[in-house]
Structure 1
């Protein structure tokens, strides 16, 4: 772990990294998943981000989540529960895999909609991308990369994220 929180300028290779991860996961979950979505800041062109790909495995119904968890555990993932977000299951990637954050969500659920609506809203609003990026860069420059600093980083971003999610939900679909 470094002593600073790393927030990078947008890297046009992030979609390729997502696609590589999607291809790795797909064969193991294809019959359970509706889709595998690239979410988070690395899914938004022009957005500064921690250089870690976020993926959602989207399923039709909650009833398949235990089977999905079982399959991912067999692939070396560690199930971490919901990490405080009800309706979302988080997984720690195997140590040999490229660093990424993996989540399981049900199509139409609040965690799923929060991810994709925010992503899609930001893709259409470069002004909001700039504002969000500037906040993340400023926070990364002043907060340490220890557990306390990372928690403070997430907490400090949350008000803007909530504002952007609310805007994404209120825009015409």
Structure 2
């Protein structure tokens, strides 16, 4: 079920705790771990799920990453349809989160960062996005694919706007 909740001030600290628990096990393989998705935008309503992306130099590190994450309870799920981005299950008992691994030059990752950063600096756009998410969550309550697809035009427009600003 799709449920959008008001911004929770604990989300940054939940992200930090999850990141900190991964830094040691992934040392030498991961360059950085980014807080992405709506929970990474202060004040933005979101699903109560933290999205993290671990950035590697090369996907050649992926087998080692998979091996180091397994004892922590993560299982590799493949790319789930997003080329070059690998998803992992959430360990039992952990806060709700999605962990992904990709390279810094992954286009989807770059767009995700552009979208996040634009929303962080444009509160009116973030509010409009929250309103859209509430509306779509009620319309697509049990249809995650439909919910995600319905947000795509808004996201694409904002990513394009962010790219124009960067190119200026």
TM-score between the two structures when normalised by the length of structure 1: 0.91
Do the aligned residues in 2 keep the contact of 1:105 with 1:111 (CA within 8 Å)? Answer: no
Q: Which runs of 4+ in 1 moved over 4 A?
A: none
Q: Distance in 1 between matches of 2:58 and 2:69?
A: 17
The one of 61, 67, 70 equivalent to 2:67 is 70
Match of 1:151 in 2: 145
Match of 1:162 in 2: 156
Do the aligned residues in 2 keep the contact of 1:105 with 1:112 (CA within 8 Å)? Answer: yes
Q: Does 1:51 align with 2:45?
A: no
The one of 26, 32, 37 equivalent to 2:34 is 37
User: What SS does structure 2 have at the residue aligned with 1:38?
Assistant: strand
Do the aligned residues in 1 keep the contact of 2:49 with 2:96 (CA within 8 Å)? Answer: yes
User: What SS does structure 1 have at the residue aligned with 2:52?
Assistant: strand
Q: Distance in 1 between matches of 2:46 and 2:141?
A: 16
In the TM superposition, what is the alpha-carbon distance from 1:89 to its structure 2 partner? 0.3
Q: Distance in 2 between matches of 1:83 and 1:163?
A: 24
- Larger deviation, residues 25-34 vs 49-58: 25-34
Do the aligned residues in 2 keep the contact of 1:35 with 1:57 (CA within 8 Å)? Answer: yes
Match of 2:105 in 1: 108
User: What SS does structure 2 have at the residue aligned with 1:105?
Assistant: strand
The one of 14, 24, 27 equivalent to 1:27 is 24
In the TM superposition, what is the alpha-carbon distance from 1:75 to its structure 2 partner? 1.8
Match of 2:4 in 1: 7
Unaligned runs of 5+ in 2: none
Unaligned runs of 5+ in 1: none
Q: Distance in 2 between matches of 1:91 and 1:158?
A: 23
Q: Does 1:140 align with 2:140?
A: no
Q: Distance in 1 between matches of 2:49 and 2:139?
A: 20
In the TM superposition, what is the alpha-carbon distance from 1:143 to its structure 2 partner? 2.3
How many matched pairs? 167
1:148-170 deviation line (CA, Å, top 9, x unaligned): x1111111111111112222222
Q: CA RMSD in A?
A: 1.3
